[in-house]
Amino acid sequence: MFRNAVTLMSSLVAATVFLGGFAVGFCQEDAAGVNPARPGTTAAALQRRDEVVLRSGHVIYGSVVEQRTGPQNSAELEVTLADGSKLILQRDQFRTWKAEATDLPEYRARLEQVGPTVDSQWALADWCREKKLKWEAEMHARIVLELDSEHEGARRLLGHQNIRGNWQDPDEWQRRQGKVKVNNAWVLPEIVEISQALEEYNAKQVEWKKSLRLWLREASRPGRGREQAIERLRNTRDPESVDALVEFLTETKPSPPTIEQRDWLLEALCGIPTLASSYALLDYYMTVGDHDEGRDRAIRTLGRRPEHKPQLARRLVAELDIDKLGDRSKLTDRGVALSNQRRLERAATGLRLIDVKIGIEPLIVSLRVPYTLKTRIQDGASNVGGNVSGFGGGGRELNETFVLENLSAVETLQLFTGQRFGNNQDAWMRWWIAANTPANLDLSRDQ
C-alpha cells in the first residue's frame, strides 16, 4: 500500500527517492559524478546512512569505514554508496563526517508501516522531528503537503510563513528575489561572483609570493640562476603581482630588502601601469627615507602616467595638511616636527614633478609652519630661550616655539602661478585672496 505513495512525490525537488521500501537521501553530485540516489538503489545496498560533507560543500550518504594510512596516520574514508559502488576519500577531500543517527533503524521499521494518508505521513514526520531526523521529517512533511496543501503543521515544520493569508516557502521567496543558496545562506549572484573572484585572487597572490620569494633568494646568492632570477624580478609585468611586489618591497621582518633588491622590485612596479602600482609608487616616494634614487624613480614614473595624475594629485594635496600628524602646539619630540616638515616638502615636490596645478592654498599654508615644543626641566636648570611656566612637583615646563620653512612649496608655487613672492607667506596669501575675489565684490564695504 505504501508503494502507491511514490506517485505523490514525483514533483518533489526535495532530493528524495523511495526505492526498495525505504527512503534514500539525495545529494548533489560531487565533482566525481557520484550520486548515491541514482536509479537501482535497493534496501540491501545501503544498510547505513552515514553523512560525509565534501570540501565542495556537497553531502553524500553511504556506509563509511574510516581508515588510517600513510606515515602521518591521516584519515581516509571508504564510502559504500547506495548503488554498491565504493568511493575512497583522502583527508583533504572532505570536511567532516558523522555516523547515521541511532534512530534510523527504528525509522526504517516505522516506514514499512506508514500509509499514503495525511495523518499517517504527518505522524511519521512529527516523530522524525522529535528524534532530530531533519531530512526525513522534511521529506514526510512535503508528502503531507502533496495531500493537503494547507496543512499548518507541515508548513511550519518546513519553515514556511503565513503572510497575509498565504503560505510562503522562504527558499522559494529568496529565489524570486534572484538569490542563490551557498552553504545554507542566500546571497545575490553578484556576491558569489565577487567571492569566487576573491578566492582566485588570493590563490594567485600565494603563487606570486612563492615565485618572488624564490627569485629573490636565487638573485641574492652567487650561482648560475642568479642572472635569470634578477631578469624575472625586473621583468614581472602581471598586474596581479602588484600586492605581492609591494609586500616584499616594504617588509621589515625577518629583515628588510637590500637597496639592490628594492631596485629590482621597483623596476617591476614601474613597468606595471595600473592605479594600484601608481599608489604603491607614491607611497614609496612619500615614506622611504634611505633610498633617494628609488624615490626619484618612483615619482618620475608617475609623471609619465597621465591617466592616474588626478588621483595622485589629490593624495598629494591631502599630504599638505600641516596638522595631519596632530597638534603642533603640544609636541614633546622635535623629531615629529621634522618628520611633518619632510612630508610637506615631499608633497610639494611631488605635485611639481607630476605637473598637476592644484593645491595652491595648501601650498601657501605649508610655506611657514609654527611648532611648539614642550619640555619639562628640573628646578635650577638654566633657561636658554623659550618661555618657562611653573609645574607642580618641583619641575618647570619650557615652551619653545619655532618655525620651519617649506622651500619646495615656494618653488612649486612659483612654477604653477608665475608669481614671485619667495617665502613671504603673507604676500602669497594676499595675492591668493585677491585672485579668487570677484571683481564686483567690495571687501571694504560695511556689512
- Comparing 212 with 87, the larger pLDDT belongs to 212
pLDDT score, position 402: 93
pLDDT score, position 61: 83
Q: Which residues have a Cβ under 8 Å from the Cβ of 140 and sit 6 or more positions away?
A: 114, 121, 122, 124, 125, 128
Residue 280 pLDDT greater than 80, yes or no: yes
Q: Mean pLDDT, the chain, as a whole number?
A: 82
Q: Note the pLDDT tens digit of each residue in 44-81.
A: 333 567 889 998 778 888 888 887 665 555 678 989 88
Determine the angle formed by the axes of helices 104-111 and 118-130, rounding to 10 degrees. Answer: 180
pLDDT score, position 307: 97
The candidate with the shortest Cα–Cα distance to 265, out of 294, 293, 239, 304, is: 294
Q: Note the pLDDT tens digit of each residue in 233-244.
A: 999 999 999 999
* CA 21 to chain CA mean position, Å: 50
Residue 184 pLDDT greater than 80, yes or no: no
Where is 395: in which H helix or E strand? strand 395-405
Where is 397: in which H helix or E strand? strand 395-405
Q: Note the pLDDT tens digit of each residue in 408-434.
A: 999 999 999 999 999 999 999 999 999
Q: What is the dihedral of CA 13, 18, 23, 29, to 10 degrees?
A: -50
DSSP string across 33-98: ---TTSTT--GGG-S--EEEEETTS-EEEEEEEEEEETTTTEEEEEEE-TTS-EEEE-GGGEEEEE
pLDDT score, position 441: 59
Unique residue bearing C-alpha cell 570536511: 95
Q: How confident is the model at residue 380 (pLDDT cuts 50, 70, 90)?
A: low
pLDDT score, position 378: 65
Average pLDDT over residues 244-272: 93
CB neighbourhood size of 312 (10 A): 23
Give yes or no for a contact between 162 and 154, defined as CB atoms under 8 angstroms apart.
Answer: no
Q: How far apart are CA 279 and CA 386, in angstroms?
A: 42
Alpha-helical runs (H) found in 220-355: 226-234, 242-250, 259-270, 275-287, 292-302, 309-318, 334-354
Q: How confident is the model at residue 398 (pLDDT cuts 50, 70, 90)?
A: confident
Average pLDDT over residues 91-111: 84
> What's the burial of 440, exposed, middle or buried (CB within 10 Å: 0-12/13-18/19+)?
exposed
Give yes or no for a contact between 79 and 86, defined as CB atoms under 8 angstroms apart.
Answer: yes
Strand order in the sheet with 387-390: 368-378, 395-405, 387-390
Q: Note the pLDDT tens digit of each residue in 294-339.
A: 999 999 999 999 999 999 999 999 999 999 988 888 888 889 999 9
Q: How confident is the model at residue 174 (pLDDT cuts 50, 70, 90)?
A: confident
Question: Is the C-alpha dihedral spanning 375, 378, 382, 388 positive or negative?
Answer: positive
The candidate with the shortest Cα–Cα distance to 128, out of 118, 117, 139, is: 139
pLDDT score, position 51: 86
Which of these ranges, 4-8, 34-38, 123-127, 183-187, has the smallest mean pLDDT?
Answer: 34-38
Average pLDDT over residues 27-54: 46
CB neighbourhood size of 125 (10 A): 25
Average pLDDT over residues 348-375: 95
Long-range contacts of 192-198 (CB under 8 A, 24+ apart): none
The candidate with the shortest Cα–Cα distance to 378, out of 370, 388, 386, is: 388
- Comparing 275 with 98, the larger pLDDT belongs to 275
The candidate with the shortest Cα–Cα distance to 118, out of 158, 157, 148, is: 148
Residue 254 pLDDT greater than 90, yes or no: no
Is the whole-model pTM more than 0.75? no
